[in-house]
C-alpha cells in the first residue's frame, strides 16, 4: 500500500507528529506541503496535518506572523514556514485517484475545540469537498504557541497511524475513539 503523510509545520511540532504517524503506518513517505505533489494517483492512504493557527488552517498572514514572532524571540522556525503556499492552498489544488482514503490531524493548544479551534476539521472538510474518503481526524496537543508537544503525543501519533492501517485492513481499531470521520 502506498502511503503519504503531508504536513505543514511552523515550529517543528507538526513535522514531528507527521513523522510519528508515518512510523505507525509501517513506513510512509513524509513530505512537507512545499514538496507534496498535487496529483496523487497510485496513493492508497493520504494523511494530512497542520498546525492550528487562529482557530483553523494557517493563512499567508498567519505564517508571516509566526515567522516574525519567532525571529523576534529567537525561537526555532521551520525553513519553509514563511512560504506563501501552505496547506490551505495545496488542498485547493490536490487531486486523488479512485479509492484514495485520507485522514487529517492537527497540532493545537490543550482545551475544548470551541476555544482552541482545529485545523484538522478544516483539512477534513476540504478533503471531503474534493471527493476524498475521510477515515478519521485527530488532534495532538502542544504546550504554548510554539510547543513543545505535550508528553506522550509522539507515542499517541504512532498508535493513531497504526490504527489507521488496521482500519483500512478491516480490523477493529479501538484507537479511533474520539476520532470523527
Can you give the pLDDT of all 181 residues of the chain as single tens digits?
A: 689 999 999 889 999 999 999 999 998 999 999 999 888 888 889 999 999 988 888 888 888 887 787 778 777 778 777 776 899 999 999 987 666 899 999 999 998 898 999 999 999 999 998 889 899 999 999 998 778 999 999 999 999 999 999 998 885 444 444 444 4
Read off the pTM: 0.88
Residue 54 exposure: Cα atoms within 13 Å on the Cβ side: 9
CA 107, CA 88: separation in Å to the nearest integer?
A: 15
Q: Are 121 and 146 in contact (CB under 8 A)?
A: no
What sign does the CA torsion over 31, 36, 40, 46 have? positive
Q: What are the C-alpha distances in Å from 118 to residues 41, 100, 169?
A: 28, 23, 28
The count of other CB atoms within 10 Å of the CB of residue 130 is 15
> Which H or E run includes 119?
helix 119-129
Domain ranges of the chain: 3-176
3-176 has which CATH code? 3.40.50.360
Q: Which of 93, 170, 99 is nearest to 132 (CA)?
A: 99
Buried b (16+ CB within 10 A) or exposed e, 92-119: eebebeeebbbbbbbbbeeeeeeeebbb
Amino acid at each position: 500500500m502506498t502511503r503519504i503523510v503531508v504536513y505543514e509545520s511552523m515550529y517543528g511540532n507538526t513535522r514531528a507528529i507527521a513523522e510519528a504517524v508515518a512510523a505507525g503506518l509501517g513506513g510512509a513517505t513524509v513530505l512537507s506541503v512545499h514538496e507534496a505533489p498535487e496529483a496523487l494517483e497510485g496513493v492508497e492512504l493520504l494523511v494530512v496535518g497542520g498546525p492550528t493557527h487562529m482557530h483553523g488552517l494557517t493563512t499567508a498572514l498567519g505564517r508571516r506572523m509566526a515567522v516574525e514572532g519567532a525571529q523576534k524571540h529567537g525561537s526555532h522556525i521551520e525553513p519553509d514556514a514563511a512560504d506563501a503556499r501552505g496547506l490551505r492552498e495545496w488542498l485547493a489544488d490536490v487531486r486523488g485517484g479512485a479509492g484514495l482514503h485520507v485522514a487529517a490531524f492537527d497540532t493545537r493548544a490543550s482545551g475544548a475545540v470551541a476555544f482552541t479551534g482545529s485545523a484538522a476539521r478544516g483539512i477534513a472538510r476540504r478533503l471531503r469537498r474534493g471527493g476524498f474518503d475521510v477515515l478519521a481526524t485527530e488532534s495532538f496537543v502542544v504546550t504554548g504557541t510554539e510547543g513543545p508537544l505535550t508528553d506522550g503525543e509522539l507515542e499517541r501519533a504512532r498508535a493513531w497511524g497504526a490504527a489507521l492501517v488496521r482500519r483500512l485492513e478491516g480490523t477493529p481499531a479501538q484507537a479511533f475513539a474520539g476520532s470523527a470521520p
